[in-house]
Amino acid sequence: MKEQLEKRLQELKREYETGQKMLTNLESQKAELQQTLLRISGAIQVLEELVYAETAQVES
């Protein structure tokens, strides 16, 4: 019985460690994606301002 409990304990510890590594990886991916979205958002804003400026010049 004790041997089975120890075996299960080791399995759970390995699963936990694997889960922790996956979580760390996903958090890193999330941070990278947030940075990418921030850059895209900035580019969108700049392009919208350029389009607005061009439209305002044409209308003047």
What pLDDT is attached to residue 30? 99
Which tokens is 59 given?
């209308």
Which tokens is 43 given?
């580019």
Tell me the one-letter amino acid at 47.
L
Report pLDDT digits (tens) over 3-60. 999 999 999 999 999 999 999 999 999 999 999 999 999 999 999 999 999 998 888 7
| CA 50/CA 54 separation, integer angstroms | 6
